[in-house]
Amino acid sequence: MSGNSGESTGGAGGGDGGGGVSGDRRSGRDGSGLGRPAASGAKLHIVRFAPAKLNLTLAVVGNRNDGYHALHSIFVRLSLGDALTVSTASIGASRDSLRVTGLTIPTVGDNLVLKAIAAARSAVVAAGTGLPELAPLLSARLSKRIPVAAGLGGGSSDAAAAIGAALAMWRVNLDAAALAGLAASLGSDVPFFLAPSVALITGRGEFVEPLPDIAGEPPAVLLVTPQLPLATAAVFKAYAQGSHQADEELALTVSERLAVEMRSGISSASLLAQAADLAAANDLRRAAFALAPGLRGFVTALEKVVERPVCQSGSGPTLWALYKTLAEARKAARFVRLAVVDGKLPLIGVGEPFIAATTIAGRLNPPVPQAMDELAGAIGPRAVHN
């Protein structure tokens, strides 16, 4: 992986996610004990795992009055994810802070973790929980393992993890409606990460229908992310300007059928058998190709290497393929790595693709946080971690 370390501060209050207000911490000074360290004097740390998501399907079903597109998409969580650690800020701090390590992110100051903490603080103050508006301030550390702007929901997952960690640090709760509103205010994908592991997503992302876990051993997934970040807004704009699939009804047909099957309980074997349909069930695929012309040829070459259908997650550019076992996905990751070295898989973007073997996670097999060097089969530019 390319290493990166960044540090930034965010607003202490107001919920604007921006510069915020400076002031004293006042942690626990109102007598509530919110955010108070443990009795032993040890500093309390809350750790949250922020899993990546995969779009098994993504159908654009219309335009909304708020400028967003209405979707019909089936999301699943993956065992690959970021790790977020939150603690109370140091004495004398005037703002929430964030330090990022691992994969490079464009701008730490714009990270959704800080915005989520600020928005959560405003939400609990508005809910009358007794939390002081300017306190307690938080210090966050994010170990970044999910590629940025890749269609894997990393930023949204980080935001959901930050909400949960902040509420735990402050020892307060929000009711379901307030929590849902908070999540939706931060991004279309954030509500999913506060829900169970498999779900049907509709609206612009705010409507989440939990679905049963996939039965049997969870399918494994090969992820290949070219180093050419695609902004979601830009991909949707290309779609709105006419970059549609040849069959504009196919993605919705596949997505609706899969939702019905998943409500009744679908097996891993059945899902694997639908790989070709899933590869065609993303209405943003052609829009991604329009923004990144080399991506189409990359997909064609990747399909030859792995000898199976290759799908796109979200707005891309992450590509994925299903496997029966993690061992098979890891073997495929090695083949892809060799194809990059041998020139059989063309390099597009700014360097070598991110490659990882992981699994679909469910409530019965929740993801387990792994250290960066334990992500078997995952590689970033010019580095391999086994």
Phi-psi bin for 135: left (phi > 0), alpha (psi -120 to 50), beta? beta
Query: Residue 48's closest CA among 167, 198, 196, 172?
Result: 167
Query: Which among 333, 224, 324 is positioned nearest to 271, based on CA atoms?
Result: 324
Catalytic residue among 96, 189, 277, 283: 189
Q: Which residues have CB under 8 Å from 128's CB, separation 6+? A: none
Question: Among this protein's residues, is 158 annotated catalytic?
Answer: no
Task: Record the tokens describing residue 225, joined without a space.
Answer: 């992310």
62: left (phi over 0), alpha (psi -120 to 50) or beta: left
Query: Distance (Å, rounded) from C-alpha 258 to C-alpha 48?
Result: 30
- Give the separation between CA 180 and CA 175, rounded to whole angstroms: 9
53 part of the active site? yes
Active-site residue (options: 53, 82, 96, 283): 53
| 32, 55, 133, 194 from 256: Cα distances, Å | 49, 14, 45, 23
**Within the chain, what is the greatest distance between any pair of CA atoms?**
65
Tokens of 283: 């209405």
Q: Which residues pair with 36 in a beta bridge?
A: none
CA 82 to chain centre: 9
Torsion of CA 215, 330, 222, 278, to 10 degrees: -50
Instruction: Compute the CA torsion angle 54, 45, 110, 285 (nearest 10 deg).
Output: 0
d(CA 198, CA 77): 7
Catalytic annotation, residues: 53, 189
